[in-house]
């Protein structure tokens, strides 16, 4: 392996303080560093899953409100003036604000899912 490949694969390490009561418990399960990394991994998975679920809930609310999936709604509002008039008249005059938030939710779910996959596949 070339030096540049080794440097690009180097893992950045951060030092944190762990309360003695936790280090004692985690050390009893074996290598302390491995135990701490496993605990952090489980915590990260839990937090990411919670975030994805929150974003999915909001995505579902917008989908229900507008009766379409995000990608279809975004495409139709960008291309179909009659559809936009219908939305403004019958659903929401602030659809553009909703669309921006909906995009944030939709993209956020994709980004967090990728991060979760990275954790689970390594």
> Is residue 23 pLDDT above 90, yes or no?
no
Does residue 21 fall inside a structural domain? no
The structure's pTM equals: 0.79
Does residue 59 fall inside a structural domain? yes
Provide the domain count of the chain: 1
Does residue 31 fall inside a structural domain? no
Does residue 110 fall inside a structural domain? yes
Task: State which residues form the domain around 110.
Answer: 52-122
Does residue 87 fall inside a structural domain? yes
Does residue 35 fall inside a structural domain? no
- Residues 50-78 pLDDT 10s: 999 999 999 999 999 999 999 999 999 99
Does residue 20 fall inside a structural domain? no
Q: How many helices (H) and strands (E) does the chain have?
A: 6, 0
Q: How far apart are CA 59 and CA 67, in angstroms?
A: 12
Contacting residues for 106 by C-beta, under 8 A, at least 6 apart:
55, 59, 70, 71
Least confident of 12-16, 62-66, 70-74, 94-98: 12-16
Is 73 exposed, middle or buried (CB count within 10 Å of its CB: 0-12, 13-18, 19+)? buried
Average pLDDT over residues 93-107: 97
Does residue 39 fall inside a structural domain? no
């Amino acid at each position: 392996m070339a030096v540049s490949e080794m440097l690009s694969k180097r893992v950045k390490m951060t030092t944190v303080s762990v309360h003695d009561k936790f280090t004692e418990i985690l050390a009893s399960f074996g290598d302390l560093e491995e135990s701490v990394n496993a605990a952090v991994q489980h915590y990260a998975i839990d937090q990411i899953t919670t975030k994805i679920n929150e974003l999915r809930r909001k995505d579902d609310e917008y989908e229900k409100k507008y009766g379409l999936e995000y990608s279809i709604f975004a495409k139709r509002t960008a291309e179909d003036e009659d559809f936009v008039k219908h939305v403004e008249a019958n659903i929401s005059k602030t659809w553009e604000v909703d669309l921006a938030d909906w995009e944030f939710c939709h993209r956020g779910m994709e980004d967090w899912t990728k991060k979760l996959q990275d954790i689970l596949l390594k």
